[in-house]
Structure 1
């Protein structure tokens, strides 16, 4: 099945303002987002993250 959606640009949060409900949930969110942030990621368009099975999702529709 082909994906029809375009890749999204994900930017990791910086600073002390929370995007999540607490720092306990903010930390893993920022780690994931850093893997997809074009400023620091190696292959963000392929949803590649490091650890586990190596993918943030199968495609952008997920």
Structure 2
């Protein structure tokens, strides 16, 4: 299933094997991996909690 990440990127969620929330030099980002290869990353977030909320909404995960 393809989902729109941003204006130019669509992800095939069937191929994503790992999703990681990372603190990087320019802020917090969510990285998407196929096996060992990073295939996409999200916009910057101010906090890990904000990134986690965005990811849950993006993947339509309900608690």
TM-score between both structures, scaled by the size of structure 2 = 0.31
Larger gyration radius, structure 1 or structure 2: 1
TM-score between both structures, scaled by the size of structure 1 = 0.32
Write 1 or 2 for the structure with the bigger share of helix.
1
Write 1 or 2 for the structure with the bigger share of strand.
2
